[in-house]
Amino acid sequence: MNENQKIDVLVVGGGMISREVILPTVFQEQKYGRVGNVSISSLTGDIIEELQGMFPPFKGYPDPGTHGMTQRYPDMFREAIAALPVNSVVIVATPDHLHTPVINAAIEAGRHAIVEKPLCLKVGEAHDIMRAANEKGIYVLTDYHKRHDRSIRAARYKFRKGLLGEMLHGHAWIEEPKYMALEVFKDWCEKSSPFEYIGVHYADAYFFVTGLRPKRLVAFGQKKYLPTQGKDAYDAVQATIEWEDGSVQFIQTSWVNSANNSAMTNQGMMLLGTMGEYWADHKDRNTHFATEAEGFDEFNPNFFKQYDSFDFPGETDNVGYGYDSIVQGINDVRKIITETAGLDEGKALERRREIISSMEETRALPGQALVGVAINNAVRMSADAGGRFVAFDKDMNIRFE
Ligand SMILES: NC(=O)c1ccc[n+]([C@@H]2O[C@H](COP(=O)([O-])OP(=O)(O)OC[C@H]3O[C@@H](n4cnc5c(N)ncnc54)[C@H](O)[C@@H]3O)[C@@H](O)[C@H]2O)c1
């Protein structure tokens, strides 16, 4: 492996998705020689210290040794970005409403970025990110890992071959337990909602499969349980989206389900077209374990699971669409960096733009991620207004109908 092709990775945010998916992926890529140094920026030293006990060595911001455990450093990601070499990428895994400042700082510093979905929460912010990234030839991928689920890729493949005909309607459901809002996201559940946090996956899936753009939507939300727990947050949110061809998709979301479920996430999607249907339970992949140690477990081998490594006997590899999606971003950045190495800045900018534009059609770069952002923004607007229709224009600007 050519050393130049290794890139350094900075992960900003040390929460659930970083621990469970991003960092295991990044360190696995390091083991395979595709990632160089790793750094992690989080809010407080105690988070860094905890992560130091879980993963191979990395540089932490703030350093718990010198900056203490509990003092908050909300701007230290800027220092971490400034310390990155040219051959690097920033992975943004802060809460939904805090993606934009990190993305902007990365672009400003000329660093590529992979962002947890949603890209951001406001259409205006997405337009600004798109403009800035384009100006500087910076790659900004939104990690919509469901695009890598072979069940959803199959729907796209068959739809695009014409086997489903023209879309009529679709239904998707994605629901998680109460501990998500009350424990995992206790600091920011009021600023997001189950739709913005996870429902947007299925709005993006419809867009990914069909290529259609939304025309208008109406959304509803309920605040019944979480307010009794001191949180002014939506328990559940439902949206009905009319797409540009007149087809309609209904998405139901919640984060107050019971923890006594057979898997963390209820999820699935159906699509009906004039020539065929797609129906998939994305929770029940027809595999379960029932063990004394772990109880009953509906096992989804597709998402992100550990398997005995073929390459490192006795060790494990992480496998699945959660892994593939982040690796796609890392490899894209490696390609951009390799192909622009040694060029003067003018030529490098031109080449970066060419490579990025060749990826626009198949990736959730800002032009595509804008659709999910606009749907999220519109759902929130509609639900907050008690269910008023919100319409989209061709640039995904939104307004009440
Ligand atoms: N792809 C997916 O399916 C998926 C799944 C879960 C979460 N996510 C997304 O990933 C993001 C993070 O989710 P999470 O589950 O890890 O949330 P989390 O609340 O568990 O973690 C957020 C982390 O960000 C840190 N943070 C907050 N402000 C910061 C700042 N200014 N600088 C540095 N760090 C800061 C917090 O300390 C915390 O460690 C969210 O946007 C979420 O929607 C995506």
Percent of the chain with pLDDT over 70: 99
Whether 100 lines ligand 1, by a CB cut-off of 6 Å, is no
Q: Tell me, using a 6 A CB cutoff, whether residue 43 lines ligand 1.
A: yes
* Long-range contacts of residues 339-342, Cβ cutoff 8 Å, at least 24 apart: 341/4
In short, whether 94's Cβ falls inside 6 Å of ligand 1 is: yes
For the segment 293-309, what is each residue's pLDDT rounded down to a tens digit?
999 999 999 999 999 99
Question: Which tens digits make up the pLDDT trace of 153-205?
Answer: 999 999 999 999 999 999 999 999 999 999 999 999 999 999 999 999 999 99
Least Cα distance to 311 among 37, 18, 56, 29 occurs for 29
Helices (H), 20-142: 23-31, 45-52, 64-67, 76-82, 99-108, 123-136
Q: Name the fold adopted by 150-300.
A: Dihydrodipicolinate Reductase; domain 2 (3.30.360)
The overall average pLDDT reported for the chain is 96
Q: How far is the CA of 160 from the centre of ligand 1 (A)?
A: 34
Q: Around Cβ 287, how many Cβ atoms within 10 Å?
A: 11
Question: pLDDT category, 4, cuts 50, 70, 90?
Answer: low
Q: Where do the structural domains in the chain lie, given as residue ranges?
A: 3-146+308-364, 150-300
* Stretch 29-39: mean pLDDT: 97
Is the confidence at residue 320, as pLDDT, over 60? yes
Cα 90 to averaged position of ligand 1 atoms, centre (Å): 14
pLDDT of residue 5: 80
- Given a contact cutoff of 8 angstroms between Cβ atoms, the answer to whether 115 and 87 are in contact is no
Going by the DSSP 8-state scheme, the letter that residue 183 receives in this structure is: I
Query: Could you tell me the two tokens for 174?
Result: 């994605």
For residue 80 and ligand 1, the question of a CB distance below 6 A is answered with: no
At residue 123 the predicted structure's pLDDT band, cuts being 50, 70 and 90, is very high
pLDDT digits (tens, 9 = 90+) for 160-169: 999 999 999 9
Categorize the per-residue pLDDT at 289 as very low, low, confident or very high, splitting at 50, 70 and 90. Answer: very high
Distance CA 166, CA 275 (A): 7
CB atoms within 10 A of CB 89: 27
Its pTM stands at 0.96
Whether 77 and 61 have beta carbons less than 8 Å apart is answered as yes
Closest by CA to 56, choosing from 36, 86, 74, is: 36
Counting Cα atoms < 13 Å in the Cβ hemisphere of 153 gives 13
In this chain, the answer to whether the domains covering 3-146+308-364 and 150-300 adopt an identical fold is no
To which CATH superfamily is domain 3-146+308-364 assigned? Answer: NAD(P)-binding Rossmann-like Domain (3.40.50.720)
Question: Does residue 1 carry a pLDDT above 90?
Answer: no
The alpha carbon of 14 and the centre of ligand 1 are apart by a number of angstroms equal to 7
Rounded mean pLDDT, 384-388: 98
Contacts of 386 (CB under 8 A, 6+ apart): 220
- Residue 133 near residue 140, CB atoms below 8 Å: yes
Specify the ligand 1 atom closest to the Cα of 75.
31
118: DSSP letter: S
Collect all residues with Cβ–Cβ distance below 8 Å to 373 and sequence separation of at least 6: 118, 119, 120, 121, 122, 123, 125, 126, 396
User: For ligand 1, what atom is nearest to the CA of residue 184?
Assistant: 20
Q: Which of 67, 3, 13 is nearest to 35 (CA)?
A: 3
